[in-house]
Amino acid sequence: MTAKKGSIIKAKKKTAIARATIRKGTGKVKINNINVDAYSKGYVKELLMEPIRLAGDDIKEFDIDVNVSGSGFMSQAIAVRSCLAKAIVKAKGKKYKDLFLAYDRAMLVDDVRQVESKKPLGRKARKKKQHSKR
């Protein structure tokens, strides 16, 4: 891992794609150039902070910049959470991989399921207009 460029990590949830760059630094975590503390509030903020809280002070020696786009706010939050966890594992090693897998497997494994496309003669992907025999 070079000090200038860093390592790039990617995570997905539905159509949300998060890309993180991790490099040596002072412990700053930014999402779309906004500090992680100011990015969101409530349950979504707690979700984003889980990998950082589990890593503790070991994350203070790295800067992580995350860019996320696509889908909705919840899918973006899950993609960012996964991206942060993968970045910490890449920087610090197997100890954190085991910790994150034991805590929640979704932190390290992407969820690539997407909504099925709509079909003709129906309102949604599987739902059809009601048929009457008489």
How confident is the model over 48-61, as pLDDT tens digits? 999 999 998 888 89
Which of 6, 2, 12, 30 minimizes the C-alpha distance to 79? 12
How confident is the model over 106-122, as pLDDT tens digits? 999 998 899 999 999 88
Domains delineated in the chain: 19-107 (3.30.230.10)
How confident is the model over 21-51, as pLDDT tens digits? 999 989 899 999 999 889 888 999 999 999 9
Tokens coding 80:
């960012």
Tokens coding 33:
């150039």
Collect all residues with Cβ–Cβ distance below 8 Å to 127 and sequence separation of at least 6. Answer: none
What are the Cα distances from residue 131, in Å, to 43, 101, 114, 118, 120? 43, 48, 29, 19, 15
Tokens coding 121:
């003669």
Output DSSP code: residue 111.
B
Say what the pTM is.
Answer: 0.85
